[in-house]
Structures are given as C-alpha cells and as structure tokens.
Amino acid sequence: MAKLLHAAPGEGLAYRTYIRTVKGRNNITLTTLEHMAQAFGLSIADFLAGQADIETWARRLDANSIRARLAQIINTQRTQRDLFCYQMAKLLGVSEATFTKLQRGTGNVSVDTIAAVANVLGRNPATFLFCNDDC
C-alpha cells in the first residue's frame, strides 16, 4: 500500500481516495484503477478480469487504450443499431455529455459506467474490453 499512496503528486492515489475505495464509497475511475493495478504489479485487464482468461495483448492496455476500445465498441454498436447519439446515450443510461466523452474516448470514465455499458450491450462487464469477438 505504501507504493500506492506515497507517489509523486499527481502520480499516486490520495489517501482519501484509497479509504473511500476500500470502504466501497468510491466510483473508481480508470485512472484510479490504473494506479492501483500498477501498485500491485498487475495490468488493468488482470485487475478487472480477475481469474478470467484474457489474451496477452489485453494485458498491455493502459487507461487511454481502454478508453479508445470502449469508444470503438460504442460507436460500432450505435452504427449497427442505427441510432442517433442521443438515443444511444439514453440506451446506455448516461447523459449526452457523458456519451460524447465515451464516444470520443476522453474523460476519466468510471468502472461502473463501463459495467453499465457492458450490461446494456449484453456482454460480460469484466472481459468485454479485452476480447476480439463478442464476449
């Protein structure tokens, strides 16, 4: 835990964030998850997927790569479903502003939002970002 909390400013986790996360009172973002995974010597994919079998390439994904994959999945699904952005946002249960960030792969998306997107798309929330096909 010391490595997690005692990093240079802006590189680690604030003690408050750590405590809120441990107590289950924090909606963990990809940035926080990336810090935690690094502190434990894990990839983000391993941290999220747990014991699930994931491809080797997925273990190399950082937070920015995951945002880009999520954006790709969302944009593909929106196109396949022939939906406008506001309709896809409503389907996913997010505001249009949040959808715009998701669609562009920007912002600090939360793990809860990723799970909600996966559930709406009928995919496994822990692994759908780390596979090449529909899983």
Which contiguous run of DSSP H or E holds residue 120? Answer: helix 111-120
Rounded to an integer, the average pLDDT of 10-27 is: 56
* Residue burial 14-35, b: 16+ Cβ < 10 Å; e: rest: eeebbeebeeeebeebbebbbb
Q: What is the pLDDT of residues 103-131, one digit of tens each?
A: 999 988 888 888 888 988 888 888 888 87
Could you tell me the pTM of the whole model?
A: 0.77
Domains of the chain, CATH where assigned? 2-53 (no CATH), 63-130 (1.10.260.40)
Q: What is the pLDDT of residues 44-90, one digit of tens each?
A: 988 888 878 888 898 899 999 999 999 999 999 999 999 999 999 99
Give CA 87 to chain center in angstroms.
Answer: 22
Rounded to an integer, the average pLDDT of 36-49 is: 85
Rounded to an integer, the average pLDDT of 2-13 is: 49
- Give the pLDDT score at 35: 80
- Give the pLDDT score at 4: 47
- Give the pLDDT score at 78: 92
- For 53-98, give the DSSP string: ---GGGGG--HHHHHHHHHHHHHHHHHHTT--HHHHHHHHT--HHH
Tell me: pLDDT of 23 over 60.
no
